[in-house]
Amino acid sequence: MVKKHIVLGVTGSIAAYKAADLANNLTKKGHEVAAILTRNATEFISPLTFQTLTKRAAHTNAFEKITDFDVDHVGLAKWADILLIAPATANIIGKIAAGIADDMLTTVIAAAHNKPVVICPAMNTAMYENPIICENIKNLSKMGYLFIEPRESVLACGDLGKGALADIDVIIDFVERL
């Protein structure tokens, strides 16, 4: 197995806690993982969790103090073999589809246009089935973005439907096969 440099984007979903398990498992398998948490993700889980599990700084701010004179969003985009967004909210999918680069995660994605980007949606079923979200996913897929479909499950809101983050093992297998 080839060891990969993986930028793990974590967005503001209740499934953010599962991203810690994902980061931990990828790191234990020998991959290097650099986590980027959106501001909303930090409402669910701490950057310190990812720093501890990956032994690398977890990024949260596009305007962090530069200590090694490498512009972080460009440096991370160059360093990465794969960008993995898990969980991916409707918000981040919409931003990527619209070309919006207004935070650390979206600027890294914009700078890494020649790298594989794997998006793992996690949201309420009604959101996932919203025609706007479906169109964004369809358009991004046409541009080469890769998607791992969410599972059907009882969601955090109590609804039963498709929208739960894919199983961690499914995500890891997909990433390792790239």
Beta carbons of 13 and 86 less than 8 angstroms apart: no
> Known catalytic residue: 157?
yes
Q: How far apart are CA 95 and CA 115, in angstroms?
A: 18
Q: How far apart are CA 148 and CA 86, in angstroms?
A: 10
**Strand blocks (E) in 23-127:** 32-37, 82-88, 117-121
Catalytic residue among 157, 159, 167, 173: 157
DSSP state of 59: B
Q: How far apart are CA 89 and CA 123, in angstroms?
A: 6
φ/ψ of residue 37, rounded to 5: -105, 135
Q: How far apart are CA 105 and CA 12, in angstroms?
A: 12
Residues belonging to the active site: 157
